[in-house]
Amino acid sequence: MTDLRTRVRKAVLPAAGLGTRFLPATKAQPKEMLPVVDKPLIQYAVEECLASGIENIIIVTGRGKNAIEDHFDAAPELERFLEEKGKRELAEQVRRISNMIQFSYTRQKEPLGLGHAVLCARELVGDEPFAVLLGDVIIDGAVPATRQLAEVFEATGAGVIAVQEVPREQTRLYGIVDAVAEKNSRWGERLLRIRTLVEKPAPEQAPSTLGVTGRYVLPPEIFDCIERTGRGALGEIQLTDALVLLAQEKGLYALVVEGTTYDAGDKLGFLKATVEFGLKNPEFGEAFRDYLRSLKL
Ligand code: G1P
């Protein structure tokens, strides 16, 4: 049995970013609410939490993000309206969203970086391990990425972050790890011990091509590490820099997660996610496939 010190029950979803990569769509609307097929981006992360055994989600919001709270709140008028119209299934879907899981919210008052956003959740997380999910990354696979990480944490007691191979010319978009394979683990070559990390290095400076893909399971000691972290890349308090301290002081793993990753915070990545989730849709996937085939590309 896993005890409370290693059970991962809470998740932090930073959602205070300004979404500048997606302007003008994000001028008056949070990027987390952009829909991929029929669900807002952030709901994919919430459903991943649910499927990973998380019981409590802490969303770090900022100015102009009220739509996120409304989305996960009850909507009695809408539910009643749908029921009166005989659309019981839709009413049930809407109800399910607000009953999914326990939500708490906290605000990041200034956009000081991802590390700072995570630090804003300190009181709500308390003294226990927690997951961090960056909502603009969707990882689609048989076992949810957060579950894969939680299993490593529960077995080793050490923090672990998701990585995947990225093209060397794209290292500037990611945190990149310098890591060595952990011998004799049940994850084989997929589990690595992190020596250090670099946030968004130039290709010639990148210590590897293993990029951090927006999923983390961390011990509460990370908060002290963030507090000791000054401003790094882009003048922001970077989670990556705090992870360097954690790796040195407590140890930290990287797990090459299984699954297909979409960076839906980027316009092209968003389109790819939309097309692939559209193709998988049970209701109209086939019709969409026929439509795509009919295009003279
Ligand atoms: C953040 C992290 C970076 C990570 C990336 C994954 O950067 O700082 O280390 O690789 O997410 O998407 P962002 O994409 O928010 O600039």
CATH of the domain at 259: 3.90.550.10
CA of 123 to the centre of ligand 1 (A): 24
Q: How many CA atoms lie within 13 A of 122 on its CB side?
A: 13
pLDDT value, residue 46 = 94
pLDDT value, residue 3 = 62
Q: How many domains are there within the chain?
A: 1
Nearest CA to 34 among 46, 48, 19, 14?
Answer: 19
Task: Looking at the CA of residue 175, tell me the nearest atom of ligand 1.
Answer: 9
207 in a structural domain: yes
129 in a structural domain: yes
Determine the structural domain holding residue 163 and report its residue range. Answer: 10-294
Instruction: Tell me if 74 sits within 8 A of 156, measured CB to CB.
Output: no
152 vs 2: CA distance, rounded Å:
12
- Atom 15 (ligand 1): residue with closest C-alpha? 114
The partner residues of 35 in beta bridges, in order of sequence, read 40
Buried b (16+ CB within 10 A) or exposed e, 218-253: bbeebbebbeebeebeeebbbbbbbbbbbbeeeebb
In tens, the pLDDT along 17-71 reads: 888 888 998 888 999 999 999 999 999 999 999 999 999 999 999 888 889 999 9
1 in a structural domain: no
Nearest CA to 12 among 103, 131, 137?
Answer: 131
CA of 295 to the centre of ligand 1 (A): 35
2 in a structural domain: no
pLDDT value, residue 179 = 97
244 in a structural domain: yes
**Which of 173, 210, 263 has most ligand 1 atoms within 8 Å of CB, for mutation?**
173
Q: Give the pairing of strands 56-61 and 10-14.
A: parallel
Ligand 1 shell residues, CB under 6 Å:
114, 134, 137, 174-175, 199, 211-214, 239-240, 263
In tens, the pLDDT along 151-206 reads: 999 999 999 999 999 999 999 999 999 999 999 999 999 999 999 999 999 999 99
161 vs 253: CA distance, rounded Å:
6
35 in a structural domain: yes
DSSP label at 214? E
- Give the mean model confidence (pLDDT) for residues 130-137: 96
152 in a structural domain: yes
